[in-house]
Structures are given as C-alpha cells and as structure tokens.
Amino acid sequence: MSDPIIVVGAAQAGLQLAESLRAESYDGPLLVIGDEHHAPYQRPPLSKAFLLGEMAQDRLVLRGPEALAAKEIDLITGVTVTGIDRNARTVNLSDGRSLTYRALALATGSRARTLPLPGADLAGILVLRTIEDSRRIAESIAKASRVVVVGGGFIGLEIAAAASKAGKPVVVIEALERLLARTSTPIISKFFHELHTSHGVDIRLNTQVTGFVGDAEVSGVTTADGATHTGDLVVVGVGIIPNAELAQECGIACDRGIIVDDCSRTSDPLIVAAGDCTARRTADGTLLRLESVQNAIEQAKSGAAALIGKERPFTAAPWFWSDQYDVRLQMAGLTAGYDSTVVRGSVEERKFSLFYFKGEKLLAVDSVNRAPDHTAARRLLDAGRSPTPEQAADEKFSLISLAK
C-alpha cells in the first residue's frame, strides 16, 4: 500500500481537509490523527449553547467514526504527534509509532493562553478550549457564589453572559480601555458594555490582573490598583496560542503561527496547514490571523486542493458570530482602515447593523439581531459590491438585490 496523506488534527480544519481531499477525488490512503479522545466536534457551542446546557454533547459531533469510515478516512484519537522528520517524510506519535506520509496537513489548532501569575495553580481557575473544559465551567458556575472573568473578548463575555443568566454575580476584568478592543470597533464595544451592565455584570476596564489568592482553591483575583475581586470561580479568557511548535521544530516558516499563502501552502511543498494554527501571508506581505470556523473550513478546502496540485485560493470575506444573552452578533469583512460608518435599524431596540466604509467602498458589516443584513453583507463583500451610505441606512432598500 502507498503512503497515506496524514492530517494532524481532528477538529474543524482537519476534518474538512480530509473530506475535501475525498471531494477532490483523492482516492489514496488518508489518515487523521487527533490528540483528544473524541470524534471531530464543533467548538463554538462550547462557550454558547453547550455551556448553557441547551445542546447535548452528541449534537456537537461533526462526523462520527462510521461516517468517516464510509469515506475511507482512518481516524486515530487520543494520540499526539510528537515530531516531524521532513527528510524521511515521517511523523512520530506519542504511542511510539512512526508513520510515513506522502503529504502532510497540519491542522493542530490552538490552546488557551494562561496567565503565569502568583496563585495561577489554585483550583477553581479555568480556561475554555475543549468539551471537558466547557463541562467543568458549567458545573463550576452552578456551584459558584461569585464568578470572575479575566478578559473582555468574545470568549470572556460569552462565559460572563452564561454565568449571569445562571443568576451569579459576575465581574469582568479587562486590561484594555474597552471590551472587545482587539476585534471590534468602539461602537460595538460600547453596545456590549451596556448590554452586560444592564444584566448586572460589573465591568472593570484598564485593569491589570496581578495574581490570584486563596488557600488551595481560588477565592479572589488581585489587580494593579490594589483591589481584590472575590470569586470562587475564575475563568481566564485572554486569547489563544497557535499550536505551531511541530512546524517550527522541523524548520517550517512560522511567525505568530504557521505561515501559509492563500492556498494554505507552507514553506514545504509537501505540507499544507489550516485553521487556528496558521498566519496567512496576504498580497501586501502582512500576516493575517483569523480564528473562526469559516477560516478553518476555507483554508482546509484550499489546502486539500493544493495537495493534489490544484489552485484554490481562499479569498472570501471573513465572517464570525457571537451569542450573548438574547443578542446574536454577526460580523462580515474586516473593519481595518474604515473612515465612516452608517447605522441601519435601531441600536436602542438591539436590532441594527453597522456598515463600515472606506470612501465609497464597503469594508465590513456588524449585524446585531439582523440575520438578513449579515447574509446580504457576505454576498456584497464577496462580489465586491458596495451600497451607497444612503442605501445602507435605508431599511426599504433591498441589499440582497444589490448583491445578486
């Protein structure tokens, strides 16, 4: 038997890569290796519906073993790839095996960033990345008397919303000057600040965490202003670290992730990479990191095509969503460089879209509880079409007709 294409990583990107290879008519041996003891599953609900107990674990599963077997995709779970020998074209596994590959796909994902501060090893300080993490946080919220969330990004705010909905007092500590500072514009930050405070969440901005206190179990978080914020559950949501070490150790070019082009090719012609572990080199030479389901899926499709000698550049506008309380935020495009904004709908009624323009060009749209606007925005951005600011603001104007 010929050597397989090996996919390292069994989450969204790894699964998509394997299935896309089959869709591209690759009929050779295909092996997916995952370090968790689960079939491929979706992660976004871990901080949303699954955390809230609104989704059963079996609904998280993307493909079970039988579905993969039907496509002749072999799956190994609970095993870590410990090294890559590019000259010998082999991967070493934590169970002692060494496997030879004909081509390799890295979909190693990311891990939650932790805070190496005094008291960080106390029980009751949690992060969110896996099914087990989400279940542990949900169980801890149910028992907690007070919850402290460190980090005012999307993960932190979704967890804060879940704890608040469970009737727990919550404080969110954010080091920057506003919530969602790295991912959203000031208008969206202000909206979510007001949303959370309206539900009783105590938000502390411009506040640096200096340590954790407690006797075996955490009882509070100390900050640079001398305060101690009491809590018997602390959830740290301060971003992720791309799992790029495997690639870096074997000499593949990395910089804040595994560097890939628009076709998901790495610096090794036999190796592609997709998902959270990557940093994409754009046409102007800058590195773009996108942590989303869409990015994982589209990069994986491009990587699969590249492995069989096809060109399928990933050029679609990025999109993302977040659920907090009764609000769904859907984001399309990238806001960097915008010079004007237009509101469609009502901010006060929590049903609006914010259109970002650079001159006459539409760059991005953030939609709050307005799914049709989000759908139209994605089509407009992918087609390279822009409504005028007046059209964007006019709810009687059909955005979707412009996108056709």
Angle, CA of 69, 10 and 36, to the nearest 5°: 105
Fold (topology level) of 5-111+240-307: FAD/NAD(P)-binding domain (3.50.50)
Give the C-alpha separation, 153 to 196, whole Å.
13
| Digit-coded pLDDT (tens) for 301-321 | 999 999 999 999 998 899 999
Q: Which CATH class is domain 125-236?
A: alpha beta
At residue 397 the predicted structure's pLDDT band, cuts being 50, 70 and 90, is: very high
134 with 47: CB under 8 angstroms?
A: yes
pLDDT at residue 316, rounded to an integer: 86
pLDDT at 404 exceeding the cut of 90: no
At residue 285 the predicted structure's pLDDT band, cuts being 50, 70 and 90, is: confident
Tokens of 94: 């934590």
| Single-letter residue type at 113 | R
| Digit-coded pLDDT (tens) for 134-189 | 999 999 999 999 999 999 999 999 999 999 999 999 999 999 999 999 999 999 99
At residue 282 the predicted structure's pLDDT band, cuts being 50, 70 and 90, is: confident
Dihedral-angle region of residue 294 (phi above 0 means left; psi in -120 to 50 means alpha; beta otherwise): alpha
Give the C-alpha separation, 168 to 149, whole Å.
12
SS3 at position 279: strand
pLDDT at residue 69, rounded to an integer: 95
Q: Which of 310, 249, 309, 239 is nearest to 276 (CA)?
A: 239
SS3 at position 353: strand
| Digit-coded pLDDT (tens) for 331-353 | 999 999 999 999 999 999 999 99
Q: What is the mean pLDDT of residues 241-264?
A: 97
Tokens of 241: 């670290």
Dihedral-angle region of residue 381 (phi above 0 means left; psi in -120 to 50 means alpha; beta otherwise): alpha
Say which DSSP state 41 is in.
B
pLDDT at residue 286, rounded to an integer: 85
At residue 208 the predicted structure's pLDDT band, cuts being 50, 70 and 90, is: very high
At residue 281 the predicted structure's pLDDT band, cuts being 50, 70 and 90, is: confident
Superfamily in which the 326-403 domain is placed by CATH = FAD/NAD-linked reductase, C-terminal dimerisation domain (3.30.390.30)
pLDDT at 283 exceeding the cut of 80: no
Query: What percentage of the chain carries pLDDT values higher than 70?
Result: 100
Give the C-alpha separation, 119 to 28, whole Å.
51
Statement: the pTM of the whole predicted model exceeds 0.85: yes
Same CATH fold assignment for domains 5-111+240-307 and 326-403: no
pLDDT at residue 165, rounded to an integer: 97
Give the C-alpha separation, 368 to 322, whole Å.
10
pLDDT at residue 1, rounded to an integer: 66
The residues near 345 (Cβ < 8 Å, ≥ 6 apart) are 351, 352, 353, 368, 370, 373, 395
Average pLDDT, the chain: 96
Angle, CA of 115, 117 and 121, to the nearest 5°: 85
| Single-letter residue type at 170 | V
Give the C-alpha separation, 289 to 182, whole Å.
12
Enumerate the domain spans of the chain. Answer: 5-111+240-307, 125-236, 326-403
Q: What is the mean pLDDT of residues 84-91?
A: 98
Give the C-alpha separation, 134 to 127, whole Å.
9
